């Protein structure tokens, strides 16, 4: 691919000087050679960092999203070599510690605390009845997955009943990631493992569907889901939305034993719009990658505007329930055991404690429903991967506000003879969606292209400048085949 993201890492501030302002996502990466949790920056040539934005002067909380280091194949879009990011999720781990702003995922050569059960999941029972999330029966369906029971739960200091009923609907997600480090002999690719959390939200005829954060699965080469009984099964990405930081992954029902299915619950989704400040909440997630854990607290604030490092603003629930690395994608429950938020991040500061954030479930519901209906895709081989034939730059949130441009991927050159040159794409267009899925950066675009073969026709949503104003257009494009010299360029 010929696309090129030349958006350099400029304007970085020293995280040690400004760490009191950083809001962090819970994502931990472990070096394959490390036995202890947490990033080993010296060995991976990864440094935590944050970025200046003018909103910092206005005391608006900011957070960063940890990213897996991805050895991004920039040649997918580039003609010219591009300096690759080192450390993605880990690189930005400095101030980010939580589950939604604490977007939690843990990395390492093994999944610490999670038993990857090898063995038979071969009970091919596709006719299992699985209750819809909206129903709340008091007993499990003996033939399938029960819905999480939220009836007759009383508010007290003891939340064990809530946890017992909700825990079967929360899973641990582990992903294999590739990161790159610089050595005396040049760049070296190494394999690591990242982990986060997910919530079982439904099923179709063939798959169990799980919602999580986009940053938990972004750039993952492989995904594995561990259920409440420690059975671990491979999963695939069904759909992602970078704008909302949401993703849905799917596990084939044929790969889940009937015994495991009988222990899984489909979460009951509540109404976050009805929440009040001061109400109790419970957070469940795969903290530090050691397995599911529980913390409790209160709703601290509603619709709290929080800004990412790239200037993107999201309205999130604020809670003082502890949200730790690995909690990303986990459940924030009300006192009826209903999911009211998806844990995402935590405000990290030397002076601040108890500021965790979650995506409100009522705002996420429509996006989740859309992602659940998408076609499940698996990564294609590098030689079969589709290419656009463009060179591009990121328009981040800060640039968008300063220049009055839409946020997305700016096309500054269309390569002659490439797929884009045979479509209605124009130079200076800004790509905001790929095949109906929201994108914000070049990395989002490259990660999506890993799932599409050359020759596939997709629809790009772009913002085009016409008569001084940006107008949204949908452009159909048939992805090109990988150029012969692309392999030599990486």
403 belongs to a structural domain: yes
The Cα–Cα gap between 489 and 481 comes to 15
Task: Taking residues 390-405, report their average pLDDT.
Answer: 86
Instruction: Write out the DSSP string of 328-381.
Output: TT-EEE-TTS-EEEEEEEEE--SS--S-EEEEEHHHHHHHHHHHHTSPP--PPP
Question: Bigger pLDDT: 190 or 434?
Answer: 434
pLDDT digits (tens, 9 = 90+) for 315-340: 899 998 888 778 889 999 999 999 99
Q: Could you tell me if 102 and 329 are in contact, meaning their C-beta atoms sit under 8 angstroms apart? A: no
All residues at 6 or more sequence positions from 57 whose CB lies less than 8 Å from its CB, including other chains = none
Instruction: Write out the DSSP string of 52-100.
Output: --GGGGGT--EEB--B------GGGTBSS--PPPS-HHHHT-SS--SSS
The Cα–Cα gap between 46 and 29 comes to 11
139 belongs to a structural domain: no
Catalytic residue among 75, 215, 243, 344: 215
Nearest alpha-carbon partner for 28 in 71, 62, 64, 68: 68
pLDDT at 224: 92
Could you identify the residue written with the tokens 């997910």?
198
pLDDT digits (tens, 9 = 90+) for 130-173: 443 333 333 333 345 666 665 555 445 788 889 999 999 999 99
Q: Could you tell me if 328 and 25 are in contact, meaning their C-beta atoms sit under 8 angstroms apart? A: yes
Task: Taking residues 418-422, report their average pLDDT.
Answer: 91
The answer to whether the pTM exceeds 0.75 is no
HSE value, Cβ hemisphere, 13 Å, CA-based, for 279: 17
Question: Bigger pLDDT: 72 or 420?
Answer: 420
Strand partners, 202: 209
Nearest alpha-carbon partner for 389 in 73, 74, 72, 76: 76
485 belongs to a structural domain: yes
pLDDT at 231: 92
pLDDT of residue 471 exceeding 80: yes
pLDDT at 310: 61
The Cα–Cα gap between 35 and 108 comes to 8
476 belongs to a structural domain: yes
Share of residues in the chain with pLDDT > 70 (%): 64
Count the neighbouring beta carbons within 10 Å of the beta carbon of residue 52. Answer: 15
Could you identify the residue written with the tokens 């070049």?
442
The Cα–Cα gap between 161 and 383 comes to 52
| Burial readout 419-438 (b: 16 or more C-beta within 10 A, e: otherwise) | bbeebebeeebbbbbbbebb
pLDDT at 73: 34
pLDDT at 437: 86
Instruction: Write out the DSSP string of 381-408.
Output: PGGGB-B--EEEEEE-HHHHHHHT--SE
pLDDT digits (tens, 9 = 90+) for 16-41: 444 334 444 444 444 444 444 343 33
Count the neighbouring beta carbons within 10 Å of the beta carbon of residue 193. Answer: 25
CA distances to 62, 105, 117, 216, 284 from 220, rounded to whole Å, are: 25, 12, 20, 8, 23
The Cα–Cα gap between 357 and 368 comes to 19
What does the mean pLDDT of the chain come to? 71
pLDDT of residue 209 exceeding 80: yes
In the numeric block, which tokens belong to residue 190?
Answer: 């190494």
pLDDT at 146: 63
Strand partners, 165: none
The Cα–Cα gap between 137 and 178 comes to 43
Is 328 one of the catalytic residues? yes
CATH number at residue 402: 2.30.42.10
The Cα–Cα gap between 41 and 355 comes to 26
Quote the Cα angle for 157-163-169, to 5°. Answer: 155
Instruction: Write out the DSSP string of 185-219.
Output: TEEEEEEEEEEEEEEEEEE-SSEEEEEEEHHHHTT
Q: Could you tell me if 122 and 257 are in contact, meaning their C-beta atoms sit under 8 angstroms apart? A: yes
pLDDT at 351: 66
| Residue 415 belongs to domain spanning | 382-489
pLDDT at 10: 40
128 belongs to a structural domain: no
Give the chain's domain count: 1
Nearest alpha-carbon partner for 65 in 42, 106, 37, 97: 97
In the numeric block, which tokens belong to residue 79?
Answer: 């003609």
The Cα–Cα gap between 227 and 256 comes to 10
pLDDT digits (tens, 9 = 90+) for 339-357: 999 998 776 666 666 688 9
Catalytic residue among 3, 245, 429, 444: 245
The Cα–Cα gap between 245 and 329 comes to 10
Catalytic residue among 328, 344, 348, 400: 328
414 belongs to a structural domain: yes
Top mean-pLDDT range of 27-41, 79-93, 212-226: 212-226
pLDDT at 243: 84
pLDDT-based confidence at residue 309 (cuts at 50, 70, 90): low
272 belongs to a structural domain: no
pLDDT digits (tens, 9 = 90+) for 45-80: 333 333 333 334 344 444 444 333 333 333 333 334
The Cα–Cα gap between 310 and 65 comes to 10
Strand partners, 23: 347
Quote the Cα angle for 104-116-371, to 5°. Answer: 50
pLDDT of residue 187 exceeding 70: yes
Share of residues in the chain with pLDDT > 90 (%): 33
The Cα–Cα gap between 402 and 110 comes to 43
In degrees and rounded to multiples of 5, residue 99 shows phi and psi of -100, -90
pLDDT-based confidence at residue 191 (cuts at 50, 70, 90): confident
Question: Bigger pLDDT: 144 or 244?
Answer: 244
User: Which burial class, exposed, middle or buried, applies to 450 when counting CB atoms under 10 A from its CB (0-12, 13-18, 19+)?
Assistant: buried
pLDDT digits (tens, 9 = 90+) for 261-300: 999 999 999 999 999 999 999 999 887 777 788 989 999 9
pLDDT of residue 375 exceeding 70: yes
């Amino acid at each position: 691919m010929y696309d090129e993201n030349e958006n350099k890492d400029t304007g970085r501030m020293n995280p040690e000087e400004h760490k009191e302002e950083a809001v962090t996502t819970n994502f931990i990466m472990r070096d394959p050679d490390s036995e202890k949790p947490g990033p080993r920056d010296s060995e991976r040539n990864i440094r935590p960092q944050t970025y200046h934005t003018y909103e910092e002067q206005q005391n608006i909380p900011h957070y960063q999203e940890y990213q897996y280091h991805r050895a991004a194949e920039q040649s997918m879009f580039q003609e010219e070599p591009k300096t690759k990011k080192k450390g993605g999720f880990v690189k930005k781990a400095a101030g980010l510690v939580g589950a939604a702003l604490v977007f939690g995922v843990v990395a390492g050569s093994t999944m610490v605390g999670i038993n990857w059960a090898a063995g038979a999941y071969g009970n091919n029972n596709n006719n299992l009845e699985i209750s819809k999330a909206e129903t709340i029966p008091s007993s499990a369906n003996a033939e399938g997955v029960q819905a999480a029971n939220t009836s007759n739960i009383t508010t007290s200091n003891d939340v064990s009943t809530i946890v017992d009923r909700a825990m079967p609907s929360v899973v641990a997600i582990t992903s294999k990631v590739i990161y790159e480090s610089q050595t005396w002999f040049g760049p070296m690719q190494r394999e690591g493992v990242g982990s986060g959390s997910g919530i079982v939200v439904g099923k179709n005829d063939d798959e169990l569907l799980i919602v999580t954060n986009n940053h938990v699965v972004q750039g993952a080469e492989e995904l594995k889901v561990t259920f409440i009984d420690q059975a671990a099964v491979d999963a695939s990405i069904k759909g992602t939305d970078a704008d909302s930081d949401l993703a849905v992954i799917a596990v084939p029902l044929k790969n889940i034993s009937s015994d495991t299915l009988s222990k899984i619950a489909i979460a009951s989704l509540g109404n976050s719009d009805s929440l009040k400040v001061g109400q109790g909440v419970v957070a469940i997630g795969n903290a530090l990658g050691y397995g599911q854990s529980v913390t409790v607290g209160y709703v601290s604030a509603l619709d709290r505007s929080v800004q990412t490092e790239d200037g993107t603003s999201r309205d999130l629930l604020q809670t003082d329930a502890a949200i730790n690395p690995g909690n990303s994608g986990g459940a924030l429950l009300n006192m009826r055991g209903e999911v009211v938020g998806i844990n995402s991040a935590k405000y990290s500061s030397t002076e601040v404690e108890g500021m965790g954030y979650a995506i409100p479930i009522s705002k996420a519901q429509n996006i989740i429903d859309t992602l659940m209906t998408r076609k499940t895709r698996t990564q294609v081989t590098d030689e079969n991967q589709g290419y656009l034939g463009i060179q591009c730059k990121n328009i981040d949130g800060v640039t968008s506000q300063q220049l009055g441009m839409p946020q997305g991927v700016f096309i500054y050159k269309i390569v002659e003879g490439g797929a884009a040159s045979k479509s209605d794409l124009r130079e200076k267009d800004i790509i905001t969606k790929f095949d109906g899925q929201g994108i914000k950066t070049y990395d989002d675009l490259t990660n999506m292209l890993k799932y599409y073969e050359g020759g596939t026709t997709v629809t790009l949503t772009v913002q085009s400048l016409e008569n001084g104003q940006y107008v949204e257009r949908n452009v159909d494009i048939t992805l090109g085949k990988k150029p012969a010299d692309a392999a030599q360029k990486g």
